[in-house]
Amino acid sequence: MTEQTKRWDVQQKILVILAHPDDPEFFCGGTLAKWSCEGHTIQYLLLTCGDKGFNPTTTPDMTPEKLCGIRHLEQAEAARLIGAQPPLFMDLPDGYLIPDLNLRRDVTREIRRHKPDILVTCDPQNLFAMYGINHPDHRACGQVVLDAVFPAADNPVYFPDLLAQGIEPHMPKEVWCSLTNQPNTTVDVTDTWDVKLQGILQHKSQVQDADKLIERMKSRRTEDSTDDNPRYEEKFRVIKYS
């Protein structure tokens, strides 16, 4: 048994940093639910509250401020179903994420503050997704998280103001990049696919047709499985530091 395999035999502290409410469930909800069932601790940190995820033509009474509150509640319920802790939000403006030094400092601070064993984000190199162009917030989030991990998170020379505040350097043991076209790790999530789906369905403000969504998600079974006996996987690019 390798040291990496042994690691998962004890409780791991997992920090999930993604751009929007519903990203954790859509990108890797089956894996997160699996980890929760195995006894690992999971904390979400969402950089925005997804306040632009509506069409004012069809929902004229909605506002970004109102939607932000709704999405906080939806994400809290989805996280509960997945088995994660109550989610944290930076509440940055939806659609405007830029991986600049200010955001890198903020993300470095959160990595150092939470001190995760495992850090989950998304692949910043994935320009195209199955639905078309990958959202720029997804790419910006992945970029700023990876830039915070290396070289900043474990090096006290970077952002010394954090050290002055008593926030000590920290390096995760592994970084898992979801929503990737360059996977090197596959997780069988057949047993938790329904939990993932139920988590997604909590995001009612984003799910226009629940029946079509369920049908679409169930169609994502592996090619070597059948409708009667489906198997589901989630893929990641994993970087290991120890």
Produce one character per residue of 33-52: b if its CB has 16 or more CB atoms within 10 Å, e if not: bbbbeeebbbbbbbbbbbbb
Q: Which two tokens stand for residue 171?
A: 């390096």
Cα separation values, 30 from 138, 181, 224, Å:
19, 18, 19
How confident is the model over 12-56, as pLDDT tens digits? Answer: 999 999 999 999 999 999 999 999 999 999 999 999 999 999 988
CATH number at residue 158: 3.40.50.10320
For 53, the token pair is 């995820």
180 lies in a domain? Answer: yes
State pTM to two decimals: 0.95
pLDDT tens, position by position, 120-170: 999 999 998 777 899 999 999 999 999 999 999 999 999 999 999 999 999
The whole-angstrom separation of Cα 140 and Cα 98 is 6
129 within a domain of the structure (yes/no): yes
Give domain status of residue 197, yes or no: yes
2 occurs within a structural domain: no
Q: Does any domain span residue 5? A: no
- Please count the residues of the chain: 242
- Per-residue pLDDT band for 1 (boundaries 50, 70, 90) equals very low
In a domain, 114, yes or no: yes
Domain that holds residue 227: 10-240
The phi and psi torsions of 178 (rounded to 5 degrees) equal -85, 180
Is 82 inside a domain boundary? yes
217 found inside a domain: yes
CA 222 to chain centre: 22
Q: How many domains does the chain have?
A: 1
